[in-house]
Structure 1
Amino acid sequence: MENLKQQVLDLTISRHDTQSWSSRDHTIPHDILIDIFSRTPSKSIARSRCVSKTWKSILHGPDFTKLFLRRSLSRPRLLFTFIEDESLFFFSSSQPQKPDKNSSLVANADHHTKFSHHVSSGICRSVNGQICTQDRGWRYTVPVICNPSTGESIILPLLELDRIDEKRYFGYDPIDKKFKVLGVSWPACGTRNLYEDHHVLTLETRQQLLWRKIECCSPYYLLYNDGICISGVLYYPAATDTHSEVSMIVCFDVRLETFSFVNKPEELKIGHYSTLINYKGKLGALESKRGIDYDEMVDGSFGFLKLWILVDPEKHIWLMKIYQIPSMWRNVIQKVDVYFAGMTSSGEFLLSPYSPNDPFYVFFYDPEKNTIARVEIQGINLQRFVNRKAYTFVDYTENLKLI
């Protein structure tokens, strides 16, 4: 069994290999092939589909896709995205699990693929292995769904409205296993009014992709913060008027397509650059303070971290935790400006440089142990992405499901 696994893992596709394996693959039971391939990187899967019709059938099958996804969930990765010449570049590396105290590690990044869309900004967080971004056209921007693991992308239909702007959020319903895009837009007028239009597009319809208008139970003002999808619910900040700060969190149930609202504590300051995170299956909000100012970026002068956890959405109950940053923080971070990219499923905060230098480091902060681990990311041609923002995502799951 181990020899067979090694043969598959070391397979290099060539004409000779293809003929050799094509004549022998019928001797390998399908269940063994599925088990072997479910443990291999997604790039190896893509190459192996070319070996024979049998392998192609197995590796495109729903049983293998589900098994691969299930095992990918147990081995989350870091995903790095760069925009260069309006194209998207995706890299991923292994994600250290509970790195040792004050350690310095190395992770090798693999280049997944390049998507040549006219992308300017607006990359949503990875949702079950898929990424939602925007293709900028002459007059409009349209959503694009990308799968870095398969190299696929699909441009969604244009939602033509008499609007001055539109914000899109990307979510996943784990019960019906459907991806959905939520579009929120506001009237085209001189001043920003309350939002009135909400549209949803479902990807797994097997029919023509269409936007559907849905109703919201209460008007609100949308802000430009990013949203996050947790257990089938999309969360994003909002306000009651144009002159106020964030006063509530909009909760959109992806499966039921219904809205609800959670009031935030007055002490919780969610600014333009504040970070919403997945805290062990609950919504969390981070407040980071550098000196006397709250900002997206932190450096060696970073003093403390406030973490707010939404423990009961129906009763609007939040729990606050304050973490004093360890004294050795300044020595590890030095003069690098970093931002919070999220929280891992094992409980560490990931901090990533806004624009990586060479060497490229990311940092894991364990709030319970109050320790810092530095990880060097190798395998990315940083010269190509000088002064480019690094969009870094935690707990990326490789998903071989075809769009």
Structure 2
Amino acid sequence: MLCRPYFTELFLTRSLARPRLLFGVLSSDRHVEWLFFSSPQPQNPYEKSSLVVASKFHVKISRDFCRYMCRCSYASSLLYFQGMQISKDDDDTVPMICNPITGQYAILPKLSRHKQRKSILGYDPINKQFKVLFMAYPYCDDYHKILTLGTGNMRWRNIECPLTHDIFNWCEGICINGILYYLGRPTDESSYDKGPFVIVCFDVRSEKFKIVDTKFCWLSSDLILINYKGKLGRINLKYASNGGFPLELCMWILEDVEKHEWSKYVYSLWDDSKIVKVDCNFSVVGMTATGEIVLSIDRTSKPYYVFYFSPKSNSLQSVEIKGFGEYLEKLKISGRVFAFVDHVEDLNVNNIKQLNSGQLRPK
């Protein structure tokens, strides 16, 4: 019964009804390691003046896997690490895909030619296929490659892109309804009229690229790409002082990919009686399916908070993640916190062939 399609669909439907916040802590105190937690995601966070939800620890990727600082990308319940060190005796790194809840992982074929590189995980919801898009930096002839996961003979294939460009390494890409979006910088003079940077759209299913110009949008180091109700959104934060509230949230929504049409919204976020007083930096981590923009504190802390902002009602609410900071403090671990909204368990993901090569254990 557990393997029958209707059970998988029922399980996923129920999981979608109760999505969770996924937290990844990248520690570098004594050695580099990742720890993964999750917590319930309140569906109506503005109904109460104060909210507390419990966190749950899942798995740790120890220093045996990640001796170097390694960022990750997220798509459809899975995390992708572009460079993990598997062997203690070998400094070479390999790409790895991981289920942060179950601890299942798989090592992917490595590309050793390019020392500077960027790769992003994407998911095709129609064919239910995961693919990894690889880009070397700076631009070269075999700049773009693609790897389809779950095939009998996984190998990197060359693909062509109509625009020669370099990727912005500091801004993570995002996959929305089978389209990968990331920031690029044109490297040929004929493309300068598109602006200082562009949004590159990659269709995971057809493996075709499109370019969206961003003439009327500014670039800053705190820019993040989000899923805004199925559309691409870009958000910048501006602090009135050195961290904390109030702050200004500027959001651009890509209304039409073909016409390169954007809409702009600006919001001021103030702390009031419902908001805990904090003096630190935040990151926008995404927008929930119900329309709340979620902000999280950049670094580990006790207590630890996330903030929900509703553009519709212009409301801001703080939520304490109970047990998160306490657990890390007990282990004497601190570091950078990454969060992902609307995380759900999908049996199709848990059972795919590419996740059968290993198991990470909670520690």
Q: Is the TM value for this pair above 0.5?
A: yes
Partner of 2:160: 215
Indicate the SS of the match to 2:7: helix
> What is the deviation of 1:246?
4.8
Which structure is larger by alpha-carbon Rg, 1 or 2?
1
Q: Which residue of 2 aligns with 1:151?
A: 103
Aligned to 2:310: 366
Which of 162, 178, 187 is equivalent to 2:129?
A: 178
User: Which stretch has the larger CA shift, 219-228 or 374-383?
Assistant: 374-383
Among 195, 208, 229, which residue is 2:175 paired with?
A: 229
Alpha-carbon separation, structure 2, partners of 1:120 and 1:62: 40
Deviation for aligned residue 1:331 = 5.8
Q: How many aligned positions are there? A: 333
Q: CA deviation at 1:104?
A: 1.6
**1:103 paired residue number:** 49
- 1:243-282 maps to which residues of 2 (within 5 A)? 246-266=196-216, 268-282=217-231
Letter in structure 1 aligned against 2:154: L
TM-score normalised by the chain length of structure 1:
0.76
Q: Determine whether 1:131 maps to 2:79.
A: yes
Is 1:382–2:328 an aligned residue pair? Answer: yes
How far does residue 119 in structure 1 lie from its aligned partner after superposition? Answer: 5.7
Q: Which stretch shifts more, 130-139 or 233-242?
A: 130-139
Query: What stretches of structure 1 of length at least 5 have no aligned partner?
Result: 1-57, 187-191
Give the CA deviation at 1:69: 2.1
**Secondary structure in 1 matching 2:74:** coil
Q: Say whether 1:166 aligns with 2:135.
A: no
**8 A Cα contact 2:222 2:237, kept in partner:** no
Normalised by the size of structure 2, how large is the TM-score? 0.84
Structure 2 CA distance for partners of 1:364 and 1:333, relative to 1, 3 Å? farther
CA distance in 1, matches of 2:97, 2:262: 33
Percent identity (aligned): 38
The structural deviation recorded for 1:386 is: 3.8
- Distance change (3 Å), C-alpha of 1:300 and 1:67: same
How far does residue 322 in structure 1 lie from its aligned partner after superposition?
1.3
Answer whether contact 1:276 1:283 (CA < 8 A) is retained.
Answer: yes
Seen in structure 2, the aligned counterparts of structure 1 residues 262 and 211 have a Cα distance that, compared at 3 Å, is: same
In terms of mean alpha carbon deviation, does 278-287 or 88-97 score higher?
88-97
Query: Does the CA contact (< 8 Å) of 1:278 and 1:343 recur in 2?
Result: yes
- Answering whether residue 251 of structure 2 is matched by residue 307 of structure 1, we say yes
What amino acid is the match of 1:148? P
CA offset digits 1:37-83 (Å, max 9, x no partner):
xxxxxxxxxxxxxxxxxxxxx43555433332232122210001123
Contact 2:70–2:84 (8 Å) recurs in 1:
no
Aligned: 1:75 with 2:26: no
What is the Cα deviation at residue 195 of structure 1?
Answer: 7.1
Q: Secondary structure at the match of 1:59?
A: coil
Query: Which stretch of the first structure deviates more once superposed, 337-346 or 172-181?
Result: 337-346
2:262 to 298, 303, 318: 318
8 Å CA contact retained: 1:76, 1:94 = yes
**Matched residues in 2 for 1:164 and 1:258: separation?**
25
Structure with more helix by fraction: 1
In the superposition, relative to structure 1, how do residues 349 and 164 fare at CA in structure 2: closer, same or farther (>3 Å)?
same
Aligned mates of 2:173, 2:243 — CA distance in 1? 21
2:85–2:92 Cα contact (<8 Å) kept: yes
Determine if the alignment matches structure 1 residue 393 to structure 2 residue 340: yes
Distance 1:298 1:315, change over 3 A: farther
Out of 270, 291, 297, the residue aligned to residue 353 of structure 1 is: 297
Higher RCO, 1 vs 2 (CA within 8 Å, ≥6 residues apart): 2
Aligned counterparts of 1:198 and 1:220: Cα–Cα separation in 2: 11
Provide the residue aligned with 1:27 in structure 2. none
CA distance in 2, matches of 1:74, 1:128: 15
Which AA in structure 1 matches 2:212?
Answer: V
User: How has the CA–CA distance of structure 1 residues 145 and 248 changed in structure 2, closer, same or farther, with 3 Å as cutoff?
Assistant: same
Q: Superposition RMSD on alpha carbons, in Å?
A: 2.5
